[in-house]
Every structure is written in structure tokens, then in C-alpha cells.
A and B are shown apart, each in its own frame.
Chain A
């Protein structure tokens, strides 16, 4: 059994699909944070068989729930205060995401105007399809 010290104040990202924690680590920019971050890979889970967990020491605003919702809205976000879970946040697929993914259409205006934000909107919730706000090019997950 691997022991990871408890969190006094921070965030626990639970129910991450096994093997995806490093992707999330980089997508959320956790590599750029100064605080302690623990990644637990392949933890046993009654619900998922195997799962990954990320523990982050620090306030909730240190991560983007929008980005997390886009990557995997099934992840559970537990807010920890004084060693206790004080809130569980449910994630949803964000209606709009900015600068998370980039348009690959060579005909899109974003291909020549580098300073434009890459904005995608949720076009189809069922298929989790996002489209570029400018050229409507599809971005499949």
C-alpha cells in the first residue's frame, strides 16, 4: 500500500481514467505550479477497476474547471479544507472553451492571425463535438 500524505487544504481530482493523469497534469498547467502535487496512477476502484487520482495543495482557482470538464467531465473534483471533503463539484462539458484546443483548419483565420484566441463551442453534447467559432471546423475528442 502506497501512502500519500493527507491534504489540509486543496483539491483532489478523483475518478480519472487510468493512465490519463499525466495528460491532465499538463493540460491544467500543474507543472507550472509551485505547490505540492501528487499523482496516483492505477489506484484500485470499485467503480472503474483502475483509476488515477491527482492531489493538489492549494485553492480551487489554481485549476481551470473548464479545461477539466472538456478533458473528462466524469472526473470528480473534491474540495478539501481542514483534512475534510467540504464540497464535491460535478463537471459538465463546457459550452465554450478558449485556448484549450487549437483549430487545425489551414483555411481558418486563426492560422494567420496568431494573437486570436482559439475559441470552440460545444456543437453536439451527445457526440461531444466542438467546432471552431471562426471557421466551424469540427474538433472531435
Chain B
């Protein structure tokens, strides 16, 4: 039995097979409509998330399975003080697979140590968000046709933005991927990503605070939201929340075939006037997220691909 806790739990070859399966699903959804008949996914969401939870539920329903779970800690037995270990032991009796989001880092790892069903980390604090990473990889591969030889700009909250950490971890495994890390000083990437992942891997990267200057270099621009819930201090949040706003003028500086991704939800870091630009790929990204989660559920449940 396997879990997905970190994007690095899957090898490059396994990710390639997973993205191939997701692409098959994209091109022939009806063929996969009953591969998980009778199977159940438990979505254990200890903090609010519309997108990720619905994406998992949509994925399982599209495979013919069913869903159960909770969407906030207040509506779960965590409110009564139940530990993650006890919750997962109980859920293992009800479902065949589970997706867990938790505000505390490492909670899905704790669950995996006590679970008899596959555990998918659906985001743990500011730590990892592997299925967002798989979504991002599928989006990039579908749009650019490759996952190597490119320059990726990551912009906004690079400190608490777990999607950013996971994506960097995943992309450094492909040849000739360069990074431009665009953030205010207070929201720079954590030291462990800079030292242990980028520097240790001899990856070309630069840390800048000017989005305009970076735009012409990029093949992918990954925008992120400054997340209020990650700050202990409201003043810091207010000071930093509007530090980057992508608008039509900035898009004019970009390559013709550059694509803008965003894990969503956005607040105002991407102006709505950019939505009509063919390079704005963040809503297509949501659709790819469902396909890749369908492929992941099939893979972890060891469901055979239909003929």
C-alpha cells in the first residue's frame, strides 16, 4: 500500500506514468466512468478548502466511486480532542482511500503511520501540497509539451506558499529547469529549499523582488496569493498582501508562449483583465487537477486501466 505525502514520494518515471494516465482520462472520460464503482474516498479537511476538496470529490465521482468526509475541524471529532491517529484508524474502516488537509504540518504523515488505507496529503500547513504539484506538472506538460528546459518564475508568498515548495521539489528533478523567485524579503523561500534543494542540486536560480524585470525571461509564471491564515500578525499581512499584482501591462512584457498558473483562489494578485489573455491558464489548471486526481486515486487503489 502506498501513500502520497510529498511530491518526491513518486519517482520521475512514476509521475510520467501518472500524467500519461491523466492525459488518457482527459481524452476519453467515459471509458473511466466506472473503474471505481463501489469504492469510497474520505475527504478529511481540518481547514476550509473549496477547491481541493471538491476536486477530490469530483475525481472520485467521475470514476464511479462515492465520497464521505468533513470539511472543517469543527465538524469533526477533532473538536472533541480526537487525535489524527485515532481518526484515521476509524476512517480506515469506512473508506478505501482518504485525502487529508490539516493546518498542522506533518499531520498526513502521522495518519499514514496508523492507516490501513492509502493517505493522500491534500495540504498540511505551509509544508507540502503534492496533488497541487501533480496538477501543476500536468498543466505545464500539457501547455508547453515538456517538463524540462524552461524558466519558471514563482511570485508572491514563497515563504508560506506550500504549493511553491512542492513545485520546486518536483521540478528540480527535470533537466535544465531554472527558477526566478520573485518575492518581498519577508516572504522569500525558506532556507531549507534554498540550501538543501536548489544549492545542493546545483540548480540555477535567482531571487529578485521586481516582477516586471523578470517577466521577459519566463516560460511559466506561477502566481501565489499572500495567505492571511499563515500570518500570526495582521499588520504584516496587510503590509504584504498587495505586493504583486499581475495586470495587462505586465503581461505585455512576457513571451508570447508564456503561461500564467495560479493554485487559486486568487484575491487581487491577478487582475481580472488578465483572464481573457490566452496565456492565462489558471482555470484550465483546475480542470487538469481533476484528471490528475482521478489518475492518482486509480494508481493508489491499484485499479487497472480499462481496455
Q: Residues of A at under 8 Å CB distance from B?
A: 105, 107-113, 115-116, 123-124, 131-138
Contact = CB atoms under 8 A, between A and B. Distances in A.
A109 B192 contact: no
Interface string B166-205: 0000000000000000000000000110001000000000
B305 interface: no
Interface residues of B, number: 17
A107 B192 contact: no
A138 B83 CA distance: 25
From DSSP, what is the main secondary structure of chain B's interface residues?
A: mixed
B104 A108 contact: yes
B105 A134 contact: yes
B83 A111 contact: no
A107 B125 contact: yes
Contacts of A105: 105
B109 interface: yes
B216 interface: no
A131 B190 CA distance: 14
A95 B104 CA distance: 25
Contacts of A134: 105-107, 109-110
B164 to A, nearest CB: 15
B196 A132 contact: no
B102 interface: yes
Contacts of B84: 109, 113
A109 B104 CA distance: 5
Contacts of B53: none
B289 to A, nearest CB: 25
A135 B127 contact: yes
B196 A123 contact: yes
23 contacts: A107-B104, A107-B105, A109-B102, A109-B105, A109-B106, A109-B109, A110-B106, A111-B104, A112-B104, A113-B83, A113-B110, A115-B83, A116-B110, A124-B196, A131-B192, A133-B106, A133-B109, A134-B105, A134-B106, A134-B107, A135-B127, A137-B105, A138-B192
Contacts of B191: 138
A135 B110 contact: no
Given A109-B106, A124-B196, 14 more contacts: A107-B103, A107-B125, A107-B126, A109-B84, A109-B105, A109-B107, A109-B109, A109-B110, A112-B104, A113-B83, A113-B84, A132-B106, A134-B105, A134-B109
A108 B126 CA distance: 10
Contacts of B107: 109, 134
From DSSP, what is the main secondary structure of chain A's interface residues?
A: loop
A125 B289 CA distance: 38
A136 B104 contact: no
B116 to A, nearest CB: 19
A123 B107 CA distance: 20
A131 B105 CA distance: 13
Interface in B118-164: 124-127
Nearest to A138: B192
Contacts of B124: 109
A108 B105 contact: yes
Given A107-B103, A107-B105, A136 B110 contact: no
Contact of B127 (A124, A133, A136): A136
A133 B108 CA distance: 12
A136 B162 CA distance: 13
Given A107-B125, A107-B126, A135 B192 contact: no
B168 to A, nearest CB: 14
Contacts of B105: 105, 107-109, 134-137
Contacts of A132: 106
Most buried by B among A107, A108, A110, A138: A107
Interface string B77-114: 00000011000000000000000001111110110000
Interface in B46-68: none
A136 B193 CA distance: 11
Contacts of B192: 131, 136, 138
Contacts of B102: 109
